[in-house]
Amino acid sequence: MARGSLFWLLAGVGAGALAAWFGDRRLFVGDSPLQGRVLRGERIDRAIIAFTDVSGTSLAGAQLPSAVVGFSNMEEADFSSAELSGAVFALTNGEEISFARARLDGAMFGLCNLEEVSFENASLRGVVFNGCVLRDASFAGADMMGAQINNCACEGVTLPDGSDWTPASDWGRFTQTGHPQFWRASDV
């Protein structure tokens, strides 16, 4: 097979796979009816939320499992008590968001600004934070079993047990059940 033909074959396969992936997702771009649907209590599985500004918006109790959120401004948005398990947040500004009491099990945050975010009493089992700014965020009372915090700025963070983060803090104490000093929210 000629090199050019192989390229077009692979491009076609890739386009088909991408179309199939998008086929079962709801797309919310720019000004969208997302808040109205959330306020009506609608569950939106596998939503794609991109290039959107929901800063200051109340999305409390939102049902958005497996959502993909990227290139969005969510500063001061309220996601308290939301269902966001399996969600992916990438390149998103989320300063002062409230994820208090939210379910974020298995979610991934990549290169997000999460300064002063409240994860208080949230379920963060298996969450991954990669290269995020977590300055002054609060994880007080959060369940972080299996979570990963990789290359994140953590100055001023409140840990799940209510103590302050220091460079000597061991996140494994809150994320690894085999840790000799493992702590979980139910220990309070």
Tens digit of each residue's pLDDT (9 = 90 or more) over 81-90: 999 999 999 9
Structural domains in the chain plus CATH codes: 26-188 (2.160.20.80)
Bridge partners, residue 103, by sequence? 83, 123
Tell me how long the chain is: 188
37 falls in which pLDDT band (50, 70, 90)?
Answer: confident
- What is the per-residue burial (b if ≥16 Cβ within 10 Å, else e) of 70-94? bebbbbebbbbbbbbbbbbbbebbb
Per-residue model confidence as pLDDT tens digits over 88-136: 999 999 999 999 999 999 999 999 999 999 999 999 999 999 999 999 9
What's the pTM? 0.85
Band (pLDDT 50/70/90 cuts) for residue 158 is: very high
pLDDT score recorded for residue 18:
42
Q: What's residue 7's pLDDT?
A: 54
